Structure 1
Amino acid sequence: MIEKINTVAVVGAGYMGGGIAQSLALAGMQVTLADVSAPATHAALERLLKESAQFEEQGLFPKGATETIRANLKAAESIEEAVAGVDFIEEAVPEIPAIKHDVLKRICAAARADAIIGTNTSTLPVHTLAPAVTHPERFLTVHFSNPAPFIPGVELVSGKATDPAIVPVVKDMLVRAKRRGAEVADTPGFVLNRLQYVLLKEAMSIVEEGIASPEDVDTIVSTTFGFRLAFFGPFAIADMAGLDVYANCFKTFEDAYGDRLATPAILKKLVSEGKFGTKTGEGLTGKFTPEQLAGLIAYRNKAYARMGQLMDELGPSPLRQ
């Protein structure tokens, strides 16, 4: 079994695949790129090098990044050439099952039998793609987010046949690329898009009901709870706000919207046990010592202040100008 990923092929050189290839090449891995045709692959390589130079000029990539990527990233003449002999293959073709099945079959026919194969799918469960993979024990979802060069989180989704031993190998690769892998179950939409789409659906309902405009909804999200989400997830935020407070608020929602926004069972249980979050020393994210709580408050205040300073420095987005 592969113990460390040093060589990579990225199949699909579009916006996502190209960004993944940039990120892994910048981290020092030898990356081979392949797309629908050799001319398309070579054009993508030139685009990625040009983008990297722009990112470097803007201070978004470190000095010397473009030369590092140039030294570590190359274009293949075909998918088969790209995947032959590498440790890890990331499939990043369009989110259409038939296309992914076809490409995965080509990958498997040319790759080493022990090569780890990842798919960059946003919503398709592993079990819908695994039938196209020979030796499915080496197959899993490795879902990067858009834009891949700058978003650190990566969803890792194992299927029924996935060998658990390959997960830490993939996580090690991600750490070297300054990414953070999170393991989630094999269900449609995983975690990222299930949450993201629920938020979008509720936001659209708010607009349809005439409660607020799209612009005002975006302002509220980006300057209130979205402001916090860069540093804390919803469980940590709830712990800091107080689970008893959340339980009382859910009563209002349940009265207004019914079962759709009923109080979650996990919240009822913790509140009934007197576990209100940071104020009582235990909540959704575990137990807290007084020292941890003091450190958390200091970190939170510093993080939010810095975020405010960054927003002032960057100014409004072009959508607001």
Structure 2
Amino acid sequence: MIETTAIVGAGYMGGGIAQVLALAGRRVVLADANAELAAAGRDRIVREAEGHARRRIVPADAPGVIAERVTAAPSIEEAVADVDFIEEAVPEVPEIKRETLARIGASARADALIGTNTSTISIGSLAGAVDRPERFLGVHFSNPAPFVPGVEVIPHQRTDASAVDRVVEMLAECGKVGVPIADVTGFVLNRLQYALFGEAARLVEEGVASPEAIDLIARTTFGFRLPFFGPFAIADIAGLDVYDFCYRSLGAAYPDRFSAPDVLREKVESGELGMKSGRGFLATAPESAPELAAYRDQAYAALSALLHRLGDPPVTY
């Protein structure tokens, strides 16, 4: 079991991860480029927890728990010297990450697991900086770490399988959903996120809609479904033959940007049309439709009520 941890990088992401681990019962040592930055980072996350507690989005005792369980270290080497798990969360600059990971690997226990919170850098490209790279993997939290549940867990070719299992188990104990994926640049989250942003930017460039209109459409239509159903579940429910037809329409209008993925065409050609046929990317049976519709309607109604209570987000266009 992972009981003691260190976070190297006391900024916003590192501090958020420290909060997650501390509130899940872990001891956390926080480090940065110097002792002053580490101490300032620790003080900041306690103040943040006080604000969260006042808004009742964390338990009332969270600030005290974090203050008691998180300590600031004089140096990176002292922070990582005797812990079970280390998460590197320094700026997204390969040279800085490699230098920091080398220091971590040289000072950590031989059995300590080492994670990096990189958003897009291939884990394999960083692994050479780490002593005993079989214990090294990507552990990519999303911002804000205390409140976003999903965490990408990314082994490189030499990562020991047990390291993945131990990290996923630790994340589950922290109330997070650790999802193992393959090591490619951008991973899953950012490949999807930046693909969406790229098409949104093109719509603005083409004069189709304003940024405000696009944001409004995204969060009140397909984005409204995403807390409950991922893209493959949504496609299966709609029908893969419908998706294939829509790709053909989009491809005719925008041949440089849209073409049906081979895997979609193969499923349609084999009669795997989604829920209507009992097999698509998922295997949801047609007779499950009433139960699925009931869940969907209840979920969407609950989300609508929550959004109505919160009001519009305080952004200005």
Q: Same fold (TM over 0.5)?
A: yes
**Residue 171 of structure 1: how far off its partner (Å):** 0.5
The structure 1 residue matched to 2:102, chosen from 81, 98, 105, is 105
Q: Which residue of 2 aligns with 1:140?
A: 137
Aligned length: 317
Paired residue type of 1:93: V
Q: Which residue of 2 aligns with 1:275?
A: 272
- Asked if 1 retains the 8 angstrom alpha-carbon contact of 2:13 and 2:89, the reply is yes
1:320, 1:226 → 2: CA distance?
20
Q: Secondary structure at the match of 2:186?
A: coil
* 1:1-321 mapped onto 2 (5 Å cutoff): 4-258=1-255, 260-288=257-285, 290=287, 292-319=288-315
Q: Secondary structure at the match of 1:261?
A: coil
**Residue 9 of structure 1: how far off its partner (Å):** 0.2
Paired residue type of 1:57: R
2:284, 2:227 → 1: CA distance?
22
**Residue ranges of structure 1 left out of the alignment (5+ in a row):** none
Closer, same or farther in 2 for the Cα pair 1:85/1:289, shift >3 Å?
farther
Q: Secondary structure at the match of 1:235?
A: helix
**Residue 277 of structure 1: how far off its partner (Å):** 1.4
2:295, 2:263 → 1: CA distance?
27
**Residue 289 of structure 1: how far off its partner (Å):** 6.3
Q: TM-score, normalised by structure 1?
A: 0.96
**Residue ranges of structure 2 left out of the alignment (5+ in a row):** none
1:320, 1:297 → 2: CA distance?
36
Percent identity between matched residues is 53
Q: Secondary structure at the match of 1:278?
A: coil
Q: TM-score, normalised by structure 2?
A: 0.97
**Residue 320 of structure 1: how far off its partner (Å):** 5.2
CA RMSD of aligned residues (A): 1.2
**Residue 64 of structure 1: how far off its partner (Å):** 1.3
2:292, 2:18 → 1: CA distance?
36
Q: Give CA-to-partner distance per residue, 1:99-147, whole Å, 9 cap, x none.
A: 0111111111110011000000000001110110010000000000011
1:288, 1:38 → 2: CA distance?
58
1:158, 1:145 → 2: CA distance?
17
1:8, 1:134 → 2: CA distance?
18
**Residue 280 of structure 1: how far off its partner (Å):** 2.1
**Residue 286 of structure 1: how far off its partner (Å):** 2.4
Q: Give CA-to-partner distance per residue, 1:223-271, whole Å, 9 cap, x none.
A: 0001111111100011111111111111101111115311111111222
